[in-house]
Amino acid sequence: MHEQAAAALANVCWESAMNKDHVRECGGVAALVGLLAPSSSPAVHEQAAAALGNLCWQSVKNNDCVRECGGVAALVGLLAPSNSPAVHEQAVAALGNLCWDDSRNRDSVRECGGVAALIGLLAPSHTPVVHEQAAAALANVCWESAMNKDHVRECGGVAALVGLLAPSNSPAVHEQAAAALGNLCWQSVKNNDCVQGCGGVAALVALLAPGGSAAVQEQAALALCNSCCDNAMNRDSVRECGGIAALVALLAPGGSAAMHEHAAGALYNLCHNTRNQDSVRDCGGVPALVALLAPARPAVVHMRAAKALTLIAHDSARCREAVRACGGAAALECVLACASSAAAHEWAAAALRFLGQPRGRDLGRWLQQAVGGLGRPD
């Protein structure tokens, strides 16, 4: 009876904010947490965890209620190796939802030993679905938490996540592992170094190969972007692994706005040294970045492309000439003239200063080209 009731509540709460609130108001959260006790059967554990996962998805009040009822510790308890893959899948999914945009639950997962338990589920003996869910949960656990990022590294989580990037794993696993590494690398020098030391830079570059999943490529580009921020060794490693050419290829028309944003952001971080600036130019990155300045592109893409072009134009006369030769000055002026963001305007102006280009030159011709083809939305 408990199993069927929990399963029914999971369905009742699926994508219904009103029903989620009603379950909580009727005492359902506490009742479901109670079903996670060791005395319940694996089938009951599975369905109760599934119901809690649905209740917690984008519900701050339910997230708080689960934590206050002892649900975080109870869900972490279900991650024990002796439990079944089905129980692991539902408990991990619930923990991932609990940690989405909730700093107190992130801390609670760490304090209950949940970080080490989630990393344990990344071992090869577990199923691909468990790998995917555990990596996604770790991505949420690490979001904007320096303490959790350090704890994941100290528990061996970086190496385990890099291991999931192996070609034998599925695109879904690759996507979530790359997303977790991206969050771990954001503003963390030690994690950036650890990713490099574990072979993660080369593994992330490999995910950018043509013909791969676009979702995987987006997350890999973002992880590379974060790993190269203020990290000279990683910048060199990306270049040596062929990552610059791979990132430039992601700027091609037809890619998503997120793909263009992350790839251009990675190129910006890479271009803090002159060898990489030259490599971007030699790989055709300058005209590809200029194309991202077309009026139809989102403001965040304008900003990322303008930032990259600013660094490319900063040190090398050859690079500056390459920007001018493909209409970059007029494209940057177009960004200043259009309703883009203040940040995009700031970086476009900075790039123009380095180019030393008089305002207004060739702007009309470039706009005509952009509207005629370059500026078509993806």
Render pLDDT for 104-156 as a digit per residue (tens, 0 to 9).
999 999 999 999 999 999 999 999 999 999 999 999 999 999 999 999 999 99
Q: What is the CATH T-level fold of the domain 1-144, as seen in this structure?
A: Leucine-rich Repeat Variant (1.25.10)
Please, what is the average pLDDT of the chain? 93
The Cα 109–Cα 257 span in angstroms is 33
pLDDT of residue 266: 98
The angle subtended at Cα 308 by Cα 303 and Cα 311, nearest 5°, is: 125
On whether the pTM is more than 0.85, the answer is yes
Least confident of 80-84, 153-157, 182-186, 312-316: 312-316
* pLDDT tens-digit series, residues 53-81: 999 999 999 999 999 999 999 999 999 99
The Cα 272–Cα 266 span in angstroms is 11
Assess if CATH 1.25.10.10 describes domain 242-378. Answer: yes
Task: Say how many C-beta atoms besides its own lie within 10 A of residue 218's C-beta.
Answer: 25
Structural domain boundaries in the chain: 1-144, 242-378
* Token digits of residue 308: 């990259």
The Cα 92–Cα 102 span in angstroms is 16
| Average pLDDT estimate for 353-365 | 60
Closest CA to 115 of 90, 89, 96: 96
The Cα 113–Cα 101 span in angstroms is 20
Q: Is the pLDDT of residue 375 over 50?
A: no
* pLDDT tens-digit series, residues 273-308: 999 999 999 999 999 999 999 999 999 999 999 999
Q: Is the pLDDT of residue 253 over 90?
A: yes
Task: Return the SS3 of 59.
Answer: coil
The Cα 308–Cα 276 span in angstroms is 11
Closest CA to 363 of 327, 314, 338: 327
Task: Return the SS3 of 213.
Answer: coil
Per-residue pLDDT band for 316 (boundaries 50, 70, 90) equals confident
| Average pLDDT estimate for 260-265 | 98
The Cα 358–Cα 333 span in angstroms is 10
Closest CA to 326 of 351, 370, 368, 291: 291
For 314-326, the DSSP string reads: HH-HHHHHHHHHT
The Cα 70–Cα 108 span in angstroms is 10
- pLDDT above 90 covers what percent of the chain? 89
CB 79 within 8 A of CB 117: yes
Per-residue pLDDT band for 206 (boundaries 50, 70, 90) equals very high
Q: Is the pLDDT of residue 158 over 90?
A: yes
| Average pLDDT estimate for 16-30 | 95
Interacting residues of 85 by C-beta distance below 8 A, sequence separation 6+: 126, 127, 129, 130
Q: Phi/psi at 278 (nearest 5 deg)? A: -65, -40
Counts for the chain of helices (H) and strands (E), in that order:
26, 0
Q: Do domains 1-144 and 242-378 have the same CATH topology?
A: yes
The Cα 20–Cα 348 span in angstroms is 47
The Cα 133–Cα 168 span in angstroms is 17
pLDDT of residue 357: 59
Per-residue pLDDT band for 370 (boundaries 50, 70, 90) equals very low
Q: Is the pLDDT of residue 1 over 90?
A: no
The Cα 23–Cα 44 span in angstroms is 18
Closest CA to 119 of 142, 145, 90: 142
Per-residue pLDDT band for 340 (boundaries 50, 70, 90) equals confident
pLDDT of residue 378: 29
Most confident of 228-232, 242-246, 340-344: 242-246
* Token digits of residue 328: 């970059």
The Cα 305–Cα 140 span in angstroms is 28
pLDDT of residue 246: 98
